[in-house]
């Protein structure tokens, strides 16, 4: 997959028109703000509001399509987890947002990277993200005391805003299948049971199933199948961040990046396409079952054809906190558009054992109360 280098260099920051300092995008607005003089700068946007997809085969085989161009960025790779993220100019020390490992800043490189087609700007700002983080943490059952005590301003203020790369797929599918349709029918059966020492004859309705061989073809259409192109954010966590407010997508604009990091894609479009196919397979199977009809369905075999595949390269916003607890890495992630909080968390073994002990004591007390 190659891309023609044809864009002018971008230094990774946007300067204040008043004092020259680096501006920061203000989540939920269409403005950039200078953190030093407070000057507000409006974001310049394109008049093109259409969110179009691009032919998949053309995208991966051609370097001359619209938007399949590049931009220049300062890139640093984490020596621990391998995450590759952009770095703002002037940064002399930082930590990896995904594993909290100190980054070796002197290894950063200026590279040309593929420019995304679209970006979903942050809606949730850092103060709101901190509130959501604290609320989520306060509701954890059986959390270790040290974890709760360490939920302080230092940790929550380490929440990093970062844009995660996603491939978004559209496709039509044609599926030929072979299976069986099950139709229920009822049979009256006679049986005997003992009543007052005598065998009494009774009847009951028993359900049976007739099976009929069937075959057919179903057609489905899918839009915006999102697959994380990051190895640093597991797909299982990425799935839990959905749904995204994709109606707020904007054409890629460096100004929405100002003040935030962005991860470059680590998983190629062809690999993520296979993941997308897995994500829609259950929907295809449901369509087959609906087509078979009847009371029950057995799918013996099926073959999917994927037609008119289209793709978009998008950046979606998250707030993330990564920390180690008892030598294990935990990630807490907040959807930067909706505020949905998901994460991994440790449990206190002593609290769980104590709760079990209390439960046993309560059951014993109830037992003796009822016994007496």
What mean pLDDT is predicted for residues 230-235?
84
pLDDT greater than 90 at residue 286: yes
Would 203 be classed as within a structural domain? no
Would 204 be classed as within a structural domain? no
Give the per-residue pLDDT at 357. Answer: 77
Would 320 be classed as within a structural domain? yes
Give the per-residue pLDDT at 298. Answer: 97
**23-27, 32-36, 105-109, 257-261: range with lowest mean pLDDT:** 105-109
Share of the chain above pLDDT 90, in %: 42
Question: Average pLDDT over the chain, rounded to whole?
Answer: 83
Give the per-residue pLDDT at 9. Answer: 31
Kindly write down the DSSP assignment for every residue of 74-118, as one continuous string. Answer: EEEE-TTT--EEE--TT----B-TTT-PBP-GGG-EEEEEEPPSE
DSSP state of 353: H
Question: What's the token pair of residue 127?
Answer: 């103060």
Q: Where on the phi/psi map is residue 232: left (φ > 0), alpha (ψ -120 to 50), or beta?
A: alpha
Give the per-residue pLDDT at 121. Answer: 95
**8-12, 97-101, 134-138, 156-160: range with lowest mean pLDDT:** 8-12
Q: Beta strand pairing status for 198-228 and 84-86? A: unpaired
pLDDT greater than 80 at residue 5: no
How far is the C-alpha of 253 from the C-alpha of 266, rounded, in Å? 21
Give the per-residue pLDDT at 81. Answer: 80
The pTM is what? 0.80
Give the per-residue pLDDT at 282. Answer: 96
The strand pairing partners of 209, in sequence order, are: 184
- Spatial CA neighbour of 337 closest among 355, 315, 356: 315
How far is the C-alpha of 56 from the C-alpha of 11, rounded, in Å? 30
Give the per-residue pLDDT at 258. Answer: 86
Would 14 be classed as within a structural domain? no
pLDDT greater than 60 at residue 123: yes
130-170 tens-digit pLDDT: 889 888 877 766 565 565 555 554 455 578 899 999 999 99
Would 316 be classed as within a structural domain? yes
Number of structural domains (the chain) is 1
170-224 tens-digit pLDDT: 999 999 999 999 999 999 999 888 888 888 889 999 999 999 999 999 999 999 9
Would 43 be classed as within a structural domain? yes
Would 49 be classed as within a structural domain? yes
Q: Higher-confidence residue: 78 or 296?
A: 296
Give the per-residue pLDDT at 45. Answer: 76
pLDDT greater than 70 at residue 351: no
Would 1 be classed as within a structural domain? no
Extended strands (E) in the chain? 24-25, 31-33, 40-42, 54-55, 70-77, 84-86, 109-114, 118-119, 160-195, 198-228, 250-251, 261-262, 296-325, 328-335, 341-343
Range of the domain at 271: 24-175+215-352
Give the per-residue pLDDT at 312. Answer: 96
Q: How confident is the model at residue 245 (pLDDT cuts 50, 70, 90)?
A: very high
């Amino acid at each position: 997959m190659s891309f023609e280098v044809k864009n002018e260099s971008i230094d990774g920051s946007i300067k204040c028109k008043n004092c020259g300092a680096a501006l920061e995008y203000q989540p939920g607005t269409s403005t950039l703000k200078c953190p030093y003089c407070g000057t507000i700068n409006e974001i310049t946007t394109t008049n093109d509001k259409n969110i179009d997809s691009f032919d998949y085969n053309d995208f991966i085989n051609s370097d001359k399509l619209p938007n399949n161009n590049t931009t220049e960025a300062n890139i640093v790779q984490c020596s621990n987890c391998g995450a590759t993220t952009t770095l703002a100019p002037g940064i002399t020390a930082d930590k990896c947002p995904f594993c909290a490992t100190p980054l070796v800043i002197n290894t950063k490189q200026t590279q040309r990277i593929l420019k995304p087609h679209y970006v979903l700007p942050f809606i949730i700002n850092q103060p709101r993200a901190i509130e959501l983080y604290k609320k989520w943490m306060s509701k954890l059952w059986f959390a270790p005391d040290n974890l709760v005590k360490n939920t302080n301003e230092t940790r929550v203020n380490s929440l990093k805003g970062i844009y995660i790369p996603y491939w978004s797929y559209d496709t039509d599918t044609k599926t030929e299948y072979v299976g069986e349709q099950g139709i229920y029918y009822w049979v009256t059966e006679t049986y005997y049971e003992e009543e007052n020492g005598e065998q009494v004859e009774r009847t009951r309705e028993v359900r049976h199933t007739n099976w009929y061989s069937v075959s057919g073809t179903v057609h489905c259409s899918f839009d915006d199948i999102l697959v994380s192109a990051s190895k640093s954010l597991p797909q299982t966590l990425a799935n839990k961040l959905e749904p995204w407010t994709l109606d707020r997508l904007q054409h890629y604009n460096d100004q929405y990046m100002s003040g935030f990091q962005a991860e470059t894609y680590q998983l190629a479009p062809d690999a993520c396409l296979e993941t997308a196919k897995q994500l829609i397979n259950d929907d295809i199977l449901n369509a087959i079952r609906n087509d078979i009809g009847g009371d029950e369905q057995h799918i013996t075999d099926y073959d999917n054809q994927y037609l008119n595949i289209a793709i978009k390269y998008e950046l979606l916003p998250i707030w993330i906190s990564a920390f180690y607890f008892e030598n294990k890495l935990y990630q807490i992630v907040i959807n930067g558009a909706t505020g949905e909080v998901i994460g991994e968390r440790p449990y206190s073994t002593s609290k769980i054992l104590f709760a079990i002990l209390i439960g046993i004591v309560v059951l014993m007390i109830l037992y003796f109360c009822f016994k007496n």
